[in-house]
Structure 1
Amino acid sequence: MTLNPTNLSRPEAYYEKLLRKRYAAAVRKRGLCAFCGCRDRTLGIVHCKGNESRQMGMCQDDGRLPQFRLDDETLEEFRHAA
């Protein structure tokens, strides 16, 4: 058993923790569809563009279009983390 299962140094572990918090804040702010380019917001509810009944990642399961597409703006925001 090890006390550091990820083998990260203290600065690396701290930075990873900050990134996790940043990702979580983005999901809270933009909803569960935070990284989808097909998202739209109506009355504060995030859903697929043109289809208000598809919310919270349903586009992965129902087989209809539009399906999940990565949002270029969000990718650019978190690009340095990769």
Structure 2
Amino acid sequence: MTLEQLNPGDMVYAASHIYNDGGIPEIPDDALLAKPGTRGVIVETGHLEEAPERAIFLVRFEDSELNLGPPTGCWPEELSPSELDFEENP
């Protein structure tokens, strides 16, 4: 399955570290929102008006207590449709 086949309500995983770029005002700029492998749910999909060929996904990632965080805009390269197989360094 590819990201393009996913819809709101589908699960995804962070493929890289995702930081607040200032788009979430109640969270400090540059705060870590998701580490690689963090599970999230797609809230909405769309495209940028300035670049209609560029897909964007609105995702809510789980925290350590499995609570969903704020909606976060993510590029396709920041997400994976399947669980990642990686080892986290201590």
TMscore range, shorter length: under 0.3
Task: Tell me which protein shows more strand as a share of its residues.
Answer: 2
Higher relative contact order (CA 8 A, sep 6+): 2
TM-score normalised per structure 2: 0.23
